[in-house]
Structure 1
């Protein structure tokens, strides 16, 4: 029989089409839906990281604040339970993106991001959240010659700004950390990224919120808020909530505040998880430092080792559905799974014969500047934080603090940031949105194949402050 490496499709023959992180017998039971009416000081809509961090931080700031959280499905079921488990300090989707957009305040953003990651680690310890948190760092690897120069430039930029410079690794040094014939160089950020089990983090935050007195209702979708007097009223299928303030953590799903919808588009990302690796297989790839890894292409892969010695392999394809549709039937894409399997064995040919136990996908909220944006609506009574573009495991805690600052009317170092005070450019309406994203995708693929050279379309997007990433 042909091996998995010779025919990668065979490695997918026994794959479960469900997120590995959520396929856990310890997954907590959902809380009951809201039935009847509720009143509170703060209503949080959305039970992913943004909503959970907002509810938790609201109670930590003021234990007497009455907080209700409603989730349309179950806590952590969407992006918060389907991502790769990379918890990064960066608030700007990487140094390069931050330098291009907010160069004057990038040192401040980097300092706040590092502090945010430290506080996530402290929160995990304080509440006893068992989420396999490991401060391993991350290595960006070059798999094409032109990417080597790009990694060196990133290291020089960090040093010039007085930031903790990542360590440049030549071919031999990076392969001593993780052995792949495709690796030409690497850039190791030793302190700015942690690995964790994303669903367990969400479930742990849920437990911590409940312990602090947050009332959580699952299977409770919220409709658009209606302002009445000094409060907001939000209808749900079996009741309603009246609140003084409201925080939105709706991620890629249509926001109850319609005017912010053009700023976000949902794109689909997919991942594979291998079966547990044996000692000989682990020895063949090295990877004793357990760092997260990603390559440096426009259509990049991210990959890491789990606590039970599996390899998660995701990324590459970025799938947008016409009309911004977010539907369960879009979660799986066999052509993408096949591509991912082929690329996995190209990266690690020494793992020939390994099978994939799980395959899944899900929607990411992305915006034209690749990193979160913030604001208020309904006369300052509604706050929102959106557009994390796949880097929300860590940055959502920062977003929660920004929202609470804005809703409380506090003048803070966070709210004075131009990053917080500005908005990304909105996406155009359909069919221009679909066409523009398609042209951008094609151009990014072409750039990867042509030594990183960007065509006129990508250069125009760069100049306009628009773009597309995963």
Structure 2
């Protein structure tokens, strides 16, 4: 049968969509790092150094570990090395949601550690309070706003899930405010919002890069020696301590704390527990007062929807909207590469979703597009451990909630290195490990099937197929 070709518009070109037009002038760089206030990099390590504690990694994990180590013992000699520049990776380009939750939300915590969920929630609240206190104490200009976060229902089946979570929280003495359709749209007006669950005090919004840079300054003021553009290439015992090799020298340290997260861990047995996945985000131009009034959002909460493939979004200090999430991209073999930092097909999808959520903002342009790798583990929340007879500690697997939880992880690593029995180290969460991911090619195939199944669940009223039910039973998951 003959097929008749569709006529092209005059000139032979297809008209670009409104989503594509909105991206035309966007810079392909993380908005937060496109900042004239970015501090100069510290010199690379050249030659040999010795120290009491070596911290590997200059994101939040490493910065909090170095800072807290000096707060606990000002005489402790601490060195921090970073493969590129402080905050260049996930710590400097995330959404800026600083959550109290250590368990990737109440539901995940209840399913995995029901007997200690109250303890974990209290530890999380204490940790968030400590972050706010440190921001104030060290004068860190990171636009810290404790606005809370609203989880949104955008499909009918999600409404019941939010009600159930509110009831579970109430039983545990935690207040989460359930908002019906009218109440949630009074907070932020979108025709897609059906209900919401507002955690009023358990999440803060902040500028992630400025937090990292502020922690860097605080570390330096405390006497931490920082070397940037200094990747750690080898970790091995050296006498009573540990030796870490770098391109231009090496460090002999009594103890080592690893904060490398998504990047290959220097303790090789940790690697099967983590997969690196890519997450992407857009930033709009600043909204006018009229545009802002059209959506409300006077209380400036962080927002995220409740789908498996979810969006997260928030306002910046100058009233831009950050819009990210949805696609979670894994590359075969866990490959990490600069070329994956931009993904136009995801940006088109995100822009289209943005205007469906906020049709009243039609015509707004995006100023920045970016992506990057985060560390995912099968239980969606961090895990911890030691190696080399207790001389090395690690904390990894934050799965997108590391802005707040990394400070808790720093405390755990320092407790473990000190051999201390603390309330933190005695929890099952800290003492246990997630299930490891299988080797390739099973890993690649399994993640692919899981992604397909999650998309089917989103499109099918939340119904989980046999594959997802099997994964639930054994405690193996994939998320960001």
Common topology (TM > 0.5): yes
- Decide which of 303, 320, 328 is 1:310's aligned counterpart: 320
C-alpha distance in structure 2 between counterparts of 1:384 and 1:224, whole Å: 15
Conserved 8 A contact 1:5-1:352: no
**Unmatched tracts of structure 2, length 5 or more:** 1-14
CA distance in 2, matches of 1:228, 1:243: 9
Q: How does 1:89-168 map to 2 (within 5 A)?
A: 89-162=100-173, 164-168=174-178
Residue matched to 1:348:
358
Contact 2:238 2:252 in 1 (8 A): no
8 Å Cα contact 1:5/1:349 also seen in 2: no
Q: Paired residues, what number? A: 466
**2: distance between equivalents of 1:82 and 1:452?**
31
**Structure 2 counterpart of 1:383, from 377, 393, 400:** 393
Shift of 1:135: 0.3
RMSD: 0.9
Counterpart Cα distance in 1 of 2:210 and 2:320:
17
| Cα offset, 1:446, TM superposition | 0.2
Alignment-derived partner of residue 426 in structure 1: 436
The 3-state SS of whatever aligns with 2:369 is strand
Residue in structure 2 matched with residue 416 of structure 1 by the alignment? 426
Match of 2:84 among 47, 67, 73: 73
Q: Could you list the per-position Cα deviations for residues 184-211 of structure 1 after superposition, in whole angstroms to 9, with x for gaps in the alignment?
A: 0000000000000000000000000000
Deviation (angstroms), 1:229: 2.0
Distance in 2 (CA, whole Å) between partners of 1:290 and 1:317 is: 25
SS at match of 1:468: coil
How far 1:226 sits from its partner (Å)?
Answer: 1.2
Return structure 1 stretches of 4+ with deviation > 3 angstroms: none
What's 2:283 paired with? 273
Contact 1:5 1:353 in 2 (8 A): no
C-alpha deviation, 1:224, in angstroms: 2.4
Counterpart of 1:201 in structure 2 is: 211
Q: How many Å separate the matches in 1 of 2:67 and 2:197? A: 35
1:9 equivalent in structure 2: 20
Q: Tell me which residue corresponds to 2:11.
A: none
Q: TM-score, normalised by structure 1?
A: 0.98
Deviation at 1:6, TM superposition (A): 5.9
Cα deviation 1:215-250 (Å, max 9, x = unaligned): 000000012211122111111111100000000000
Counterpart of 2:260 (choices 241, 250, 257) is 250
Aligned with 2:54 (options 16, 28, 43): 43
Query: Helix, strand or coil for the counterpart of 2:453?
Result: helix
- CA drift of 1:392 comes to 0.2
378, 381, 392: which is aligned to 1:371?
Answer: 381
State the 1:5 CA deviation: 11
Q: Distance in 1 between matches of 2:41 and 2:94?
A: 20
Alignment partner, residue 32 of structure 1:
43
Q: Quote the offset at 1:7 in angstroms.
A: 2.0
Q: Secondary structure at the match of 2:190?
A: coil
**Matched residue, 1:176:** 186
Structure 1: gaps spanning 5 or more residues: none
Tell me if structure 2 keeps the 8 A contact 1:139–1:293: yes
2:292 is aligned with 1:282: yes
Please report the TM-score for the alignment, with normalisation by the length of structure 2.
0.96
- Contact map agreement 1:169 1:185 (CA 8 A) in 2: yes
Q: Is the 8 A contact 2:234 2:246 kept in 1?
A: no
Question: Residue 191 of structure 2 aligns to a residue in which SS?
Answer: coil
Q: Is the 8 A contact 2:179 2:198 kept in 1?
A: yes
